[in-house]
Structure 1
Amino acid sequence: MKTTYLLVGSLLAATSLNAATGFFGTTSIIADGNTSDVSTLTSFGNISNAATFEIQGFDLNTFEDNGSEITHMNMFWTIDGFTNIHQIQLTPAPTKIGNDRNWVISSSTQDLVTNNGLGTIAEGDYTFQAYFEGYTNGTNTAGNIFLNNGGSNYQATFTIVPEPGIYALIAGLLGLSFVALKRRQA
């Protein structure tokens, strides 16, 4: 069984009007052991319906200035064609470096193939979408801040395909059918 890990983030400047809070730095996506910059990622490729495709880790950087504070951070994700939006709570690193804070995943792993436990999704083409929301204390900041690819959400397409062993089984059954047909004709 193949396990895939996902790490989402981006390169972005301040998102609030007066720049008291915001996101900074580059964060990468790690999928199936490969690291990609989120701005260049467009697809996760083919994923076996018997695989586990897990959202398991994040590394996100924020800054806080002028008395502002980001109190907590969530990542929201969905798969097109489904109405449910999943939430992952992120926790800050124990200490800030100056006014900068690093956030990491704090909740359990979530699986795309099972739509986070709601049932294995059918074979076909899908689009994963995600965004981050930081909740602030409202001091010298415009309120909550978002990391959302300019309002378009971060997106990656993927295709759910049958387990590779299914192809071998189908080929074997077709081969046996062909042999039986030839024997009957002889």
Structure 2
Amino acid sequence: MYRLLKVKDVVRIPPRMFTMDPKEAAKLVLRETYEGIYDRDEGVVLSVIDVEEIGEGVIVPGDGATYHEVVFTVLMWTPRHHEVVEGEVVDVAPYGAFIRIGPMDGLVHISQLMDDYVVFDEKNRQFIGKETKRILKLGDPVRARIIAVSVKSRVIRENKIGLTMRQPGLGKFDWIEKEKRKAKEE
């Protein structure tokens, strides 16, 4: 889920940025500090949008920089349990497919790909449904549901998202369209 969040913090503006507009200098420092960080409660900071307020600078003895209290807006993405997401297959392995959903990749375990016995074709790097003959490969657009979120670190790549595509309305878009057409015909 994407959302905007207001944050209040203190920012250190180094002397080399004193000639800049204070809001722009604060925005640059905040982007370096916050963007790409995963917060356990709020999610991933995608971007620092705007610095709304900047207070008077305070100089600390022995440090040439100024410290300012700031209020700024960030764009966040938070993976939520049971949220339906759309993405693209970006990698496959014998145990499942990795789906790019926003700033993170989620894993759909082979058992959660479809309601069928699934085999991994290592030569062609794709999954094949034994009875349905459905194929899932790199680059396929899909719809999935988040079933697990494991937060271990502030580094995005160290956190994991588990996905499923077994419920109706989920899976490769071609599969979903075929199911819709089949339901209309019946």
Classify the TM-score, shorter chain: under 0.3
Higher RCO (CA 8 Å, separation ≥ 6 residues): 1
**TM-score normalized with structure 1 length:** 0.26
Higher helix share: 2
Q: Which structure is higher in strand share?
A: 2
The alignment's TM-score, normalised by the length of structure 2, stands at 0.26
